[in-house]
Chains A and B, each alone.
Chain A
Amino acid sequence: MTRLIPSSAITPESLYTRRGFLGIAGALSAATLLAACGRRATEPTLSGEQPASEPRDELDDPLNSFEQITNYNNYYEFTTDKQEVARLATSFRSSPWELEVGGLVARPRIFALEDLLAFPQEERIYRLRCVEGWSMVIPWQGFPLHQLLRMVEPLPTARYVRFETIFRPEEMPGQRDRYYPWPYIEGLRLDEAMHDLTLMATGLYGRTLPPQNGAPVRLVVPWKYGFKSIKAVVRIELTEQIPTSLWMAMAPHEYGFYANVNPEVAHPRWSQASERRIGELGRRPTLPFNGYADEVAMLYSGMDLRRNF
C-alpha cells in the first residue's frame, strides 16, 4: 500500500507554463481529466492540429499562475492576511502525516501520506470561488474522495462526513488566537462527498501541495465557496448527525452547512452576484454552483436553496 506514484505520472510544471500544453502529454491528461468529470474538452481537431494556447478550464478561461495561487491564501490557521500566509507557512511540517478515517464505517483506518499518494493521482482544473468575491482557476492533482471512502466502507447509518484540520499552534501562529474555536471543521453530506468532482488534493501545477495551499492533503469541492475546501486534513469521520463547521459555530446565520456558490442567494451581508477573477480587472458574473450546475444541481433537487444556504 505504500506505492509512490512515479514522478513521470505527473505532468511536469514546464508543460503548464509552456505554450502548447494541450498539444503534448497534456492533451492526454486533460482529455482523461475532462472525460472523467463528464465535461466537454477543448478537443484536438480532427486534422491533428492542436490549439496553440495556454491551458484553460472547460469554460475556456485561463489558469491562474503558480505565483498567484501560492501567494494569496485564506488560511486563518496562519494569519488572516492573505499575502502573509505563504511566508508564515514555510516551516510547517507536512510530512510525516496521518489521516485518520473513522466513525460510521466498517473498516476504520489510518492513512499515511504514502497511502494517500498511492491512490491514482489525477489532474483536475477547477475554479475556486471565495465567499469574499474573488476567484481563481487552479490545476490540482489528487484523487476523488469516493475512492478513499469506499475503502473504509461507510455504514448504512452514515449520512454526513466531518473533516478536521490539524491543530498545531506551534507551527500555525493563527491557532494561538483563542478567538476562533480551533480546530477548523467542515462537513459534507455523504452524497456530496461521494460525488466524483469532490477531490482530495495532494498537489497543484504538478508539484507537491505547498503548505499555504493546505499541504499535504486538502479537500476541494469546486461548486461550494472556498471555505468548505478544508486544508491539512487529519481526521475524517462519518456521522449520522450534521456536523457543525467552524464558521457555522462562529456565525450560524451567515454560514450555512451547504455554502453552494449561488449568485441568486445573497450572503446576509454580501451579494454573490459577481466576482473578480484574480488577474483580471473588472468583474464577471458568478455562475450557479460555480459553473458546475450540470454535474451537481441534482444533488439538491427539491431543496429550497435559499433556506439551505
Chain B
Amino acid sequence: MSSPSTHLRQASVGIHLGALFPLLLLLIDSLLGRLSVNPIQDLTLRTGQVALILLLLSLSCTPLGRLTGWTWMVALRKPLGLYSFLYVSLHLLVFVGLDYGLDGLLISQAIAEKRYVLAGLVSFLLLLPLAATSTRAAQRRLGRWWRRLHWLVYPAAIAALLHYLWLSKVARVPILAAALLLALLLLRIPLLRQRLRRR
C-alpha cells in the first residue's frame, strides 16, 4: 500500500514533468521553426495558457485536498505556483523583448491603451513578491506576515483572468476559467469558517 508521502512524491514528479513538458515543446518548436508564421504570438499565447493553467491548479490544491481528504496535496501548491511564475516571466519576456523590442514608448503606450496588458502587469506584480518569498527561510523570517502576503495570490488570479477575458475576442473560455476560480474561492469559504471556529 502506498502512503501519503509516496502519493506526494509521485504527484511531485508528475508536476515537474508535466510543467516542464510545455517548455520543452516550445523550445523544440522554436528551434525547428515549427511555430506558426506569427511566431511571437505563438510564444505569447502558449506561455500565457500554461501560466494560467498552472496558477489555477495551484489554487485548487487546498480545496481539493480538503474535499478528498488527501491533505498532502497542499504541498503541491508551491511547485505549481512557482512553475506558473516561470511561464508568466517567459510570457512577459516575450512581450517586452520580442514583441515590443524593448521599445519603452510603445510598451508604455500599450499599458496605457490596452487594459488587458495593465491587468496582466498587475497580476505579474502581485505574483512577484510571492515567488520571491517562496523559500522556507523567507517563510520563517516573515512569520505570520507570510500567510497574509501569500493571500495576494487571489487578487493575482483575478487580475490574470481579467487579463484573459479582456484580450479574448470570444469570452467563452475565459468565463469557464473564471467560473472555475469562483468555485475554488467558494470552496474556501466553509473551510475558512471552520478554521475560524477552531480558534
A264 CB, nearest partner CB in chain B, Å: 11
Q: Give the distance in Å from the alpha carbon of A132 to the alpha carbon of B36 in the complex.
A: 15
Q: Do A283 and B99 touch across chains, with their CB atoms under 8 A apart? A: yes
Determine whether A82 belongs to the interface, using a CB cutoff of 8 Å to chain B.
yes
Query: Which stretch, B6-14, B107-115, B185-193, touches the partner chain A?
Result: B107-115
Query: Which stretch, B47-55, B76-84, B147-155, B164-172, touches the partner chain A?
Result: B164-172
Q: Do A269 and B172 touch across chains, with their CB atoms under 8 A apart? A: no
Q: Would A282 and B101 be within 8 Å (CB), given that A179-B170, A271-B114 are in contact? A: yes
A126 CB, nearest partner CB in chain B, Å: 18
Determine whether B71 belongs to the interface, using a CB cutoff of 8 Å to chain A.
no
Query: Which stretch, B20-28, B37-45, B61-69, B131-139, touches the partner chain A?
Result: B37-45
**CB within 8 Å of A: which of B162-182?**
166-167, 169-170, 172
The contact of A71 among B37, B116, B167, by CB within 8 Å, is B37
Which residues of B are found within 8 Å of A250, using beta-carbon distances? 170
Bits for A253-283, please: 1 = Cβ < 8 Å to B, else 0: 0000000000000100111011010110111
Q: Which of chain A's residues has its CB closest to B173's CB? A: A80
Q: Do A269 and B37 touch across chains, with their CB atoms under 8 A apart? A: no
Q: Would A83 and B106 be within 8 Å (CB), given that A179-B172, A269-B167, A276-B41 are in contact? A: no
Q: Give the distance in Å from the alpha carbon of A72 to the alpha carbon of B41 in the complex.
A: 12
Which residues of B are found within 8 Å of A281, using beta-carbon distances? 40, 98, 101
A115 CB, nearest partner CB in chain B, Å: 34
Q: Give the distance in Å from the alpha carbon of A132 to the alpha carbon of B114 in the complex.
A: 12
The contact of B101 among A72, A251, A266, A283, by CB within 8 Å, is A283
Which residues of A are found within 8 Å of B172, using beta-carbon distances? 179
Q: Do B37 and A72 touch across chains, with their CB atoms under 8 A apart? A: yes
Q: Would A271 and B41 be within 8 Å (CB), given that A82-B36, A282-B101 are in contact? A: no
Q: Do A269 and B115 touch across chains, with their CB atoms under 8 A apart? A: yes
Determine whether B70 belongs to the interface, using a CB cutoff of 8 Å to chain A.
no
Q: Give the distance in Å from the alpha carbon of A203 to the alpha carbon of B160 in the complex.
A: 42
Determine whether A111 belongs to the interface, using a CB cutoff of 8 Å to chain B.
no
Which residues of A are found within 8 Å of B167, using beta-carbon distances? 269-270
Q: Do A283 and B41 touch across chains, with their CB atoms under 8 A apart? A: no
Determine whether B100 belongs to the interface, using a CB cutoff of 8 Å to chain A.
yes
A43 CB, nearest partner CB in chain B, Å: 31
**CB within 8 Å of B: which of A52-109?**
67-68, 71-72, 80, 82-83
Q: Give the distance in Å from the alpha carbon of A139 to the alpha carbon of B87 in the complex.
A: 38
Name A's interface SS. loop
Q: Which of chain A's residues has its CB closest to B36's CB? A: A83
Q: Do A72 and B98 touch across chains, with their CB atoms under 8 A apart? A: no
Determine whether A182 belongs to the interface, using a CB cutoff of 8 Å to chain B.
no
**CB within 8 Å of A: which of B102-124?**
103, 106, 109-110, 113-116
Q: Which of chain B's residues has its CB closest to A65's CB? A: B37
Which residues of A are found within 8 Å of B116, using beta-carbon distances? 269-270
Q: Do A269 and B114 touch across chains, with their CB atoms under 8 A apart? A: yes
Q: Give the distance in Å from the alpha carbon of A276 to the alpha carbon of B106 in the complex.
A: 13
B193 CB, nearest partner CB in chain A, Å: 37
Which residues of B are found within 8 Å of A80, using beta-carbon distances? 170
Residue among A71, A266, A269 with the highest chain B CB neighbour number at 10 A? A269
Q: Do B100 and A283 touch across chains, with their CB atoms under 8 A apart? A: yes
Which residues of B are found within 8 Å of A282, using beta-carbon distances? 101
Name the 5 nearest CB pairs between A and B, nearest first. Answer: A271-B113, A68-B37, A72-B37, A282-B101, A266-B113
Q: List 12 A-B contacts (CB under 8 A).
A: A71-B36, A72-B36, A132-B41, A179-B170, A269-B116, A270-B113, A273-B109, A273-B113, A281-B40, A283-B100, A283-B103, A283-B106
Q: Please give the residue numbers on chain B whose beta carbons come within 8 Å of chain A beta carbons, in ascending order.
A: 36-38, 40-41, 98-101, 103, 106, 109-110, 113-116, 166-167, 169-170, 172
